[in-house]
Structure formats: structure tokens, C-alpha cells
Structure 1
Amino acid sequence: MPLPFIEDESQLLAMPEGAYMNEAQLDFFRRRLLAEQAELEAALEETRRTIVDSRGAGDEADLAANEETLRLLLRQADRETRLLRKIVGTLKRLNEGDYGFCEETGAPIGLRRLLLRPTATLCLEAKQRQEQREHHYARRHSA
């Protein structure tokens, strides 16, 4: 019997707990990740075009404003590139059967967390522990 096609989040969340990461759920997240990947690739291409087209011309004020805009565009392109790499890695994990499970504990990450952050690799508890370690490390090394 074929699994149901999940069209929206409410259908996904209505599925029984035992259906976690079945083929229908994997397909839902694969489609979501591929759509986000396509959007990011288009946005990154537009950002790159804008950077190339932003040749400096005009007086000093224009050049300074253009330089600031260019700096912001480069930061945006960097963020988009990093997120794109995360999505590619997530799609690889999905294809390998590791998607939806915590890299640290092996426990389910949870549908609600994956809906908010489809590239999540840690369950909430493991993520909290990681943030506590980072906070503790930062405090120790800033003193």
C-alpha cells in the first residue's frame, strides 16, 4: 500500500509517532529542502549579479555608500553559501537514511524541530548541551 502524500505541515504532524521518518515524511522534507535549495541558488545568483554590477562611480559619498552596500551583499552571499552547503549536506543525510536523527545521541530530532530548522542535526537536548558548552568555553576564554 503506498504511503500518503503529505502536502502540508498539519498532515505531517497528524501522523502517528510510529511513522517517524517513513517514506512519506522523508519525501515531504526532501521536497522542502529542494525548494529551499532552489530559492537560495536563485537568490545567490541575483546577489552575485548585483555585486558584479555594482561598479563604483560618482563622488566620495556615492562610493562610500556603494562600498557599504557591497559589504552587505558579500555578507549576504556568505550566509547564503553556508546555508546552501548545509542543505546539500542535509539532502545527503536524507538519501543515506540518517535524516531526522540526532548525530550525537541517535534519538529522533522531532518533526516540530525539523519543520523550524530542516537542516538540524541535533535533537533539542543535544543542541542545548552544545550551546551550554560553547557558552562556558566563551566565558572561560574571554576572561
Structure 2
Amino acid sequence: MTADDRSSPLMSEEQILAAPESEYMNDAQLAFFKARLIELHDTTRERIREVKEHMQDKPDLADFNDRASWEEQWALSMRIVDREQKLLPKIIQSLERIRLGEYGYCIESGEPIGIPRLLARPTTEYCADVKNIKEVGEHLFKG
């Protein structure tokens, strides 16, 4: 981040949504998404750390039902950690795409992904049309 990035306030979601298409992925919008991705990275790492810390505190459970309940909670926590750990590289890739000037554009078609989609999922790499085609293809090949 440059000194200019730190001194000017970030745009709000409302400002980004209200901006004309001609301003798509301008410097202010890129700064907004960069800050959002950095925050997402930090909070994701913190959640992983907290869950791992919590999982290390295995209680002494003599009751079978309490033990089964704890093991179910542990398994759920493991799934959460796994999912969060898979998100971290996607965040880093998105930050790299910002650096390269490619963020906000579909990696397959080159079309704009769109502000609402990026706000909902800042690590997305595909526009809605390409993502839908990919999902239909995945569904057809699974079954």
C-alpha cells in the first residue's frame, strides 16, 4: 500500500455499487477490495488459530454421550478448519490478481465479474455466466 492508499478513505459498499460502469475496477475500487481481502485473510487465519487452539483442549469425558457429542463437534471443527485453509490461497491469488491488474475480470472470458458478485465473494475468478456453465458441466459429469 502506498502512502496515498493509507491517507484517502476507502470507498463504502454503497459508493462502489452506485459508481458508474466506466469506473469499474478503478484505483479506489481496487483499494477497497485489497483492504477487504487483507481483512478476510487476517480473520480467516485468526479463526483457524482459534479453532485449532480449542481442539487441543480435549476435555476428560467419562460419559459416552458427552464424548460422542464432543467428537461430533471436533469433526465439525475439522471441516471448518479445512474449508478455511482452502480459502487462504484463494485470497492470496486474488491479491496477486489486484497487483497484476487482473482482479475483477473473469479468468476465462475476460468479462467483468461485477461488483455485486465480488462483494458477495471477493475471491471469485469467474463471471456468473462462465461459473454457471462450469457448474452445469460438473453436474453432468458427476452423474
Give yes or no for contact 1:54–1:70 (8 Å, CA) kept in 2.
no
CA deviation profile, 1:26-61 (whole Å, cap 9, x unmatched): 000001111111111111110010111124532322
In the superposition, the TM-score normalised over structure 2's length comes to 0.88
| Corresponding residue for residue 84 of structure 1 | 88
Q: Number of paired residues?
A: 138
Q: Which residue of 2 aligns with 1:128?
A: 132
Match of 1:70 in 2: 74
Partners of 1:57 and 1:63 within 8 A in 2: yes
Segments of 4+ moved more than 6 angstroms: none
Q: Is the 8 A contact 2:11 2:28 kept in 1?
A: no
Structure 2 residue runs without a partner (length 5+) = none
CA contact (8 A) 2:55 2:74 kept: yes
Give yes or no for the alignment of 1:110 onto 2:114: yes
Show structure 1 runs of 5+ residues with no match. Answer: none
Q: Show the counterpart of 1:12.
A: 16
1:99 partner SS = coil
Q: Does 1:33 align with 2:37?
A: yes
Give the TM-score normalised by the residue count of structure 1.
Answer: 0.88
Kept in 2: contact 1:7–1:28 (CA 8 A): yes
Aligned AA for 2:31?
A: D
Match of 1:24 in 2: 28
Q: Show CA shifts across 1:113-135 (max 9, x none).
A: 11111111000110111011111
CA RMSD of aligned residues (A): 1.8
Identity of aligned residues (%): 39
